[in-house]
Amino acid sequence: MKNISLSNAGFILRIFLGITMLSAVADRFGFWGAPGAPGVAWGNWNNFIAYTQTLNSFASKSVAGILGALATFFEISFGLFLIIGFKTKYAALGTAGLMLLFALTMTFSISIKAPLDYSVFTSFAAALTLSAIDKTSFSLD
């Protein structure tokens, strides 16, 4: 059968994980539409910070703002690094860590259904897999 390159699979994972992270950031800045528009989760920064505060119920609004800004910084950084292929292993590990944190906070603050519905555990697993992919090939029988 035909050889399949793991580096090609890694490229696909890199691009789509990066786009996924940047899409979430775009939503919180209103690039996907206004709050309440179809497919829009937040639509603006204030709604995103309110959601951050929901996930981190211990946090005041100002602490939620800091946590939201940190999450946004890392999502932009890891997303761009994945897309351009810069320090991919570390960007993928950082992405996996961030996705796991999101999944756990969603699970404990809302329910297990939330991270499952938004495929956060899948993104975590994909990022962890990407961090382990090397540039070898394998053969499908």
Cβ neighbors of 48 (< 8 A, separation 6 or more) are 27, 28, 42, 68
| The pLDDT of residue 134 | 60
| The pLDDT of residue 9 | 85
Cβ neighbors of 121 (< 8 A, separation 6 or more) are 99, 103, 115
| The pLDDT of residue 138 | 41
- Pairing state between β 137-139 and 3-5: antiparallel
DSSP 137: E
| The pLDDT of residue 16 | 96
The CA-atom distances, in angstroms, between 53 and each of 4, 6, 57 are 44, 39, 6
The CA-atom distances, in angstroms, between 125 and each of 93, 95, 97, 129, 135 are 10, 10, 10, 6, 19
Compute the distance between CA of residue 84 and CA of residue 92 in angstroms, rounded to an integer.
12
Secondary structure class of 138 (helix, strand, coil): strand
H-only helix segments in the chain? 6-28, 45-55, 61-84, 88-109, 113-117, 120-132
| The pLDDT of residue 141 | 39
pLDDT of the chain, 141 residues: tens digit per residue: 456 666 688 899 999 999 999 999 999 999 999 999 999 999 999 999 999 999 999 989 999 999 999 999 999 999 999 999 999 999 999 999 999 999 999 999 999 999 999 999 999 999 999 999 865 444 343
**Residue 35, Cβ density class (10 Å: 0-12 exposed, 13-18 middle, ≥19 buried):** middle
